[in-house]
Amino acid sequence: MQRVLSFPPQSSRRFGDPSEFVSKRMCFSFMFSIAFLSVLAGFLLGRFVFDQELELSKAKLRKANQQQQQIVTSYRPSQENISSLLSEISPGSLELYLKSLQDTSGEPENFHEARLIVSLLKESGFDLTSPLVDSQVNLSHPDPTRANQVLLYRGAVLALSIDDSREWSEPGGYHTAATVEGNIYYVNFGRDEDYHHLDSLGLNVKDSVVLARVGRTPPLDLVMNALEHEAVGIILYKDPQQTDVDGDILSSADLARLNSLYKTNAEKAVPVLCISHEDAEKLFREMSTSESSSESWRGNLNSSYPIGPGFASPDGKIIMRVNTVTTVRKYYDVFGAIRGTQEPDRFVIVSQERKPDRDSTAMFMEVIRFFGALKNTKDWRPRRSIVFASWGMETHCFSRSKDWWSQLQMKTVAYLKMDSASLGNDSTPSRGTPILEKAFREAATAASLPSPDLDVMLQTGSDVDLVENGIPFLELKPAESRGVSRLKEVTSFWGYIIWKLSESADLPFSLDTYTTFFNYSVNVIEQRFKMITQKHSLFLESFFEATQRLVAAISSFQSKWSLSDPSKSIEMRIMNDQFLRFVQALSCRKEKDSFDHSYRHMIFSQSTRGNDPKSGFGLLQDLLRETTWTEAPDDLQQQIINHLADLVECLNAARSALTDGLEHFVRPE
């Protein structure tokens, strides 16, 4: 009974028992089989995926080849047949656009024009069209109901009254006013060095009115500098000597900025007035001549330009009454673009400010229609992207961000300003960067226009940002319109130059104008100021040498350019970019304090006292001429030395842009 109920005895296995090896072999075999099957499955799966990827890559390659073939075989207008295509620019379309722009149907004018342009961009099949979104800007202007005044009293007798009353149609707005009185000082261009000169004479403009001419400092900076020196009023005028000052002295947006920055309360306006040079001459006649000005402080008025302080009459005083209205204006900017095929990251920007005469807006719309039709009916796309920008406000009414100008610097090959319906004439020439003169004349010939004149002196007026950022630009000067037939010719001009800049593998740039300009200007300076430089031990050899080296580099680059092969895209891209870097280098832009920079270009400006419109380096010429009458020759000599150093640096940078630049890293023996 006990044997039945008990468990069987456990068998004891010793190490090395054969059954244990059998179990291990089975386990290893099983694991090996799993590993083998996994490797096999992975191999088969990888082979299958690889084949799929290979087929997909082949498909992508075939598609890319097809796209490239489409680019190569797509319609490319030649130099010969582009003129016949330009004949499709229609006077009928121009008349239709003019009528549609005039018939606002009760819509706000700015919105109506923008809406028509947006619709046209979409109908023309542009790749990108911006939405119709409004923007706002504050504008300040003289109150049309209460004139701005400058009143000069001799005791209780009113000796002189100057009114600044301008018509303004903007409705609404809020009114501000200011009245100031006191002494008056003439501060030349209102620069820091001008105030330092007054300090050396023991004169202080605090609590006084200052009279300043514009031309060497941007007017907004000039006003802010005067306020920093605690002047209570600022009177600005444009001297006949400053022929390179373009446009209004202060825009409505500038006045709005001043009001927002410096007004102490909502009712007080910044006491700033802009007067004519005739009225400025009347003020000078009444001022005290106790402190006379040097020759460098004198312009072309019939006056000795007395500094002051005060007036010839001992009981004289000046009263300024400023009345302004500030309004908020709504406007609409419109953008459209055709993407380029081979260089889509290079832009030809076609810009137009919508103006009351509407002629330029009609031309702008016809150019949009022309390139849209070329794209849709001829299956054409440009080599480079074309960006159309229609501005609802004048561009001088607001400042662009640094990022905006940085993008334009990197990507823009040309900035074309379609703001005028005429190419101008001898008295009002068109204006542009010298590198575009060749394209300018070719386009005029293609459009059957008489040979126009292009002013290459880079006046920093409304185009100050384009000049300072080294962006090639072209602007037609306003002139009297001659009807729809002339509109067609000018529209054809723009059509040709846009096509040429966007389509040519080798950009239609030329450096010949630069060579002529540099050789002529240096020769003028050598001949005109030889005695002055010897007398004051001013050594211009480094400047002359830098100019000669730049001219030699231009000649070498032009020779290389003439032998280049337009079919080699990379070579063309490199050389085109060298052109653009050259223009940027010659902008001579330096990071300086806002009150410590010249309003004129260092190179492409003429002397304010010379009568030679084709001779550049105007700032240098004026400084050299000033040595003959200055009372502080040592200070002026140092200023000339500093200016020469800046010029040499700028010229060397331009020369480097036309070479590979290796000598800056490895200086040869």
pLDDT at 49: 58
Span 429-453, average pLDDT: 84
H-run or E-run covering 319: strand 316-332
Among 45-54, 159-168, 228-237, 505-514, name the one with the lowest average pLDDT: 45-54
Contact call for residues 523 and 516 (beta carbons, < 8 A): no
Half-sphere exposure of 97 (CA within 13 A, CB side): 29
Most confident of 50-54, 158-162, 319-323, 433-437: 433-437
pLDDT at 548: 95
pLDDT at 631: 58
Span 590-597, average pLDDT: 42
Residue 144 identity (one-letter amino acid):
P
Span 255-271, average pLDDT: 63
Q: How far apart are CA 284 and CA 187, in angstroms?
A: 12
Q: How far apart are CA 542 and CA 529, in angstroms?
A: 16
Give the whole-number percent of the chain exceeding pLDDT 70. 76
Q: How far apart are CA 213 and CA 275, in angstroms?
A: 10
pLDDT at 173: 56
Which residues make beta-bridge pairs with 151?
A: 161, 319
pLDDT by residue (tens digit) across 378-414?
A: 888 999 999 999 998 776 555 566 777 888 888 999 9
Answer whether residue 439 shows pLDDT above 80. yes
Residue 79 identity (one-letter amino acid):
Q
Number of CB atoms found within 10 A of residue 663's CB: 11
pLDDT by residue (tens digit) across 65-91?
A: 555 554 444 555 555 567 677 778 888
On the 0-12 / 13-18 / 19+ scale of CB atoms within 10 A, 32 is exposed
- DSSP per residue over 13-63, as a string? --TT-HHHHHHHHHHHHHHHHHHHHHHHHHHHHHHHHHHHHHHHHHHHHHH
Q: How far apart are CA 193 and CA 222, in angstroms?
A: 12
Which residues make beta-bridge pairs with 525?
A: none
Which residues lie closer than 8 Å to 241 by C-beta, 6 or more apart?
A: 213, 215, 299, 300, 608, 609
pLDDT at 462: 57
Backbone angles phi, psi at 112, to 5 degrees: -60, -45
Closest CA to 624 of 538, 561, 554: 538
| pLDDT tier at 344, thresholds 50, 70, 90 | very high
**What angle separates helix 569-585 from helix 541-562, to the nearest 10 degrees?**
160
Q: Which long-range contacts (CB under 8 A, 24 or more apart) does 73-79 make?
A: 74/341, 74/379, 74/380, 74/381, 75/378, 75/379, 75/380, 76/380, 76/503, 77/374, 77/378, 77/380, 77/499, 77/503
Gap between the terminal Cα atoms of the chain: 117
DSSP state of 393: S
Q: How far apart are CA 414 and CA 3, in angstroms?
A: 112
pLDDT at 519: 94
- DSSP per residue over 320-371, as a string? EEEEEEEEEEEEE-EEEEE--SSEEEEEEEEEEE--TT-HHHHHHHHHHHHH
Half-sphere exposure of 115 (CA within 13 A, CB side): 11
pLDDT by residue (tens digit) across 469-522?
A: 889 999 876 555 566 777 888 899 999 999 999 999 989 999 999 999 999 999
pLDDT at 464: 72
**What angle separates helix 484-503 from helix 359-378, to the nearest 10 degrees?**
50
Answer whether residue 55 shows pLDDT above 70. no
Q: For residue 53, give Cα distances in angstroms to 38, 59, 67.
A: 22, 10, 21
Q: How far apart are CA 86 and CA 367, in angstroms?
A: 10
pLDDT at 16: 53
The DSSP bridge pattern shows strands 334-338 and 128-129 to be antiparallel
Q: For residue 370, give Cα distances in angstroms to 340, 415, 455, 498, 611.
A: 16, 19, 29, 11, 44
Residue 125 identity (one-letter amino acid):
G
Residue 534 identity (one-letter amino acid):
Q
276 Ramachandran zone, left/alpha/beta (phi>0; psi -120 to 50)? beta
- DSSP per residue over 100-158, as a string? HHH--TTS-HHHHHHHHHHHHHHHTT-SEE----EEEEEEEEE-TTS-EEEEEEETTEE
pLDDT at 46: 65
On the 0-12 / 13-18 / 19+ scale of CB atoms within 10 A, 3 is exposed
Half-sphere exposure of 600 (CA within 13 A, CB side): 23
pLDDT at 592: 44
pLDDT by residue (tens digit) across 140-170?
A: 777 777 778 888 888 777 878 887 655 555 5
Number of CB atoms found within 10 A of residue 130's CB: 18
Q: How far apart are CA 228 and CA 190, in angstroms?
A: 11
Q: What SS3 class is residue 178?
A: strand
Backbone angles phi, psi at 591, to 5 degrees: -75, 110
pLDDT at 73: 47
Backbone angles phi, psi at 516, to 5 degrees: -60, -45
Residue 115 identity (one-letter amino acid):
R
The dihedral formed by the CA atoms of 45, 49, 50 and 55, expressed in degrees to the nearest 10? 140
H-run or E-run covering 99: helix 91-102
pLDDT at 597: 40
Domains of the chain in start order, with CATH, are 82-130+333-503 (3.40.630.10), 139-329 (3.50.30.30), 512-664 (1.20.930.40)
Identify whether 131 is preceded by a cis peptide bond (ω within 30 of 0).
Answer: no
| pLDDT tier at 654, thresholds 50, 70, 90 | very high
Q: How far apart are CA 96 and CA 112, in angstroms?
A: 15
Where is pLDDT greater, at 119 or 58?
119
Q: How far apart are CA 594 and CA 582, in angstroms?
A: 25
Residue 339 Cα to chain centre, angstroms: 22
The dihedral formed by the CA atoms of 211, 217, 221 and 223, expressed in degrees to the nearest 10? 10
Give the whole-number percent of the chain exceeding pLDDT 90. 24
How many residues are there in the chain?
669
